[in-house]
């Protein structure tokens, strides 16, 4: 992490409300990842853009990031609550939920749950 956060990106092959590409940013409160076994406050953002159309949504989340040792190396996992901050998808305008972001050796996985 460079003091301003870490950027992550990927592509949905399917999903609700639509398939598309995503990118985002996660930043720990002090600008660096916590050591193994520790957690600290953090924020995250996520933007999903539909494939082949103009639909999108953006989420903002607050939570914590933790350093976790796995057989493949050190994983940093952000878990927090999100709210929709921008969308043109009507059913998402009042959505909220939980986000789980996992960063490991240059790879990222994002899991978003909500209603």
Give the pLDDT confidence score for residue 61 in this predicted structure. 96
Which H/E stretch holds residue 16?
none
Cα–Cα distance measured from residue 79 to residue 3, given in angstroms and rounded to the nearest whole number = 19
Cα–Cα distance measured from residue 95 to residue 83, given in angstroms and rounded to the nearest whole number = 6
Parts of the chain with a pLDDT under 70: 1-5, 8-9, 11-18, 93
Cα–Cα distance measured from residue 27 to residue 54, given in angstroms and rounded to the nearest whole number = 28
Give the pLDDT confidence score for residue 76 in this predicted structure. 93
Q: What is the largest CA-CA distance in the chain?
A: 43
């Amino acid at each position: 992490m460079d003091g301003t956060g870490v950027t992550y990106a990927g592509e949905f092959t399917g999903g609700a409300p639509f398939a598309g590409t995503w990118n985002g940013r996660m930043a720990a409160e002090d600008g660096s990842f916590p050591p193994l076994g520790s957690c600290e406050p953090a924020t995250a953002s996520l933007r999903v853009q539909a494939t082949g159309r103009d639909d999108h949504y953006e989420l903002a989340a607050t939570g914590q990031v933790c350093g976790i040792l796995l057989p493949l190396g050190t994983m940093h996992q952000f878990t927090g609550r999100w709210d929709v901050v921008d969308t043109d998808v009507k059913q998402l305008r009042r959505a909220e939920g939980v986000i789980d972001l996992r960063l490991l050796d240059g790879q990222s996985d994002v899991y978003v749950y909500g209603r």
